[in-house]
Structures are given as structure tokens and as C-alpha cells.
Amino acid sequence: MSRELFWISCRHEIDRLFDTLVHTAWGGRPSGPTWTPPVDVTEETDRYRVEVDLPGVRSDDLEVTAEAGTLRIEGTRSLGEPGPGSARHVAERPSGRFRRTFRLPVDADPDTVRARLRDGVLVVEIRKRGRIEVAR
């Protein structure tokens, strides 16, 4: 991971923790996303790759945008309610809204964003400017 991506990731985590601390200290709940899916960011020779664990998220409930130097991934995971005559005793899987935002490196080309959701993992690829696409 490049130094820039490392610090972007650290800044996001600090912002999330601070937001949670402030809202908890004042007795409220954060008004933003209700959970944060884990992410891996990898830099390759010709592109950046962002992988997000999103089990149970449908592609219709997912939005990926890249504009103004920012990559935004947001959506909703709905786990549903237990049916009549049943009760949920343990609920550890988070649900509701989520959002992850990343500042793109200066050499990332936001016009080349490709995203695919397969087997509960979202893979977003962003080519670097001035790089030649290599067939895979």
C-alpha cells in the first residue's frame, strides 16, 4: 500500500471513531451509516483495486461513484425480520445503510472506474492515467 493510501485509510478510521465518540458522549446516535464494511485497497502497476466485503448486499442496493477526486461506495443491507411465530435470539450481522469514501490519488482516472459484485465481494478497479491497459 502506498504511503498516501495508508494515511487516507487512517484518516477515515479516525474520523469514524471520533464521530462515534462524539455522538455517544452526547447521548445520541450517529445519523450517518449504521455499519462500516471492511475494505482492502491495493495498488497495482496500472490500476488501484478496492475490495469490499458486502455479503447479503444486492447490486440494486449498491451505488459506486467517482467524482471530484473521491470514490464513494454506499448502499444498504437488509436482513429482514423473523416471520410470525419466530424470534431472533442473536443478531450479530450488521444491517442498514453503509458508506465508504476514499480520496483518489492524483494519477487515478475516475472515468475508468469498473465495479463488480460477486460472491459478496465488491471489486472496484480504477486505472491510472497514462497507463496502457494490459489484457488479463
Q: Cβ of 6: how many Cβ atoms within 10 Å? A: 11
| pLDDT reported for residue 89 | 84
- Residue 62's domain spans which residues? 33-127
| pLDDT reported for residue 134 | 58
83 in a structural domain: yes
| pLDDT reported for residue 91 | 81
| pLDDT reported for residue 133 | 57
133 in a structural domain: no
pLDDT along the chain (136 residues), means of 10: 66 65 52 82 96 95 93 91 84 89 93 95 94 58
* Alpha carbons 17 and 13: distance in angstroms, whole number: 6
Place of cell 502506498: 2
Q: Which CATH number covers residue 45?
A: 2.60.40.790
**4, 105 Cβ separation under 8 angstroms:** yes
* Alpha carbons 128 and 105: distance in angstroms, whole number: 9
pTM of the entire predicted model: 0.71
CA atoms within 13 A on the CB side of 95: 10
How many independent structural domains does the chain possess? 1
| pLDDT reported for residue 93 | 85
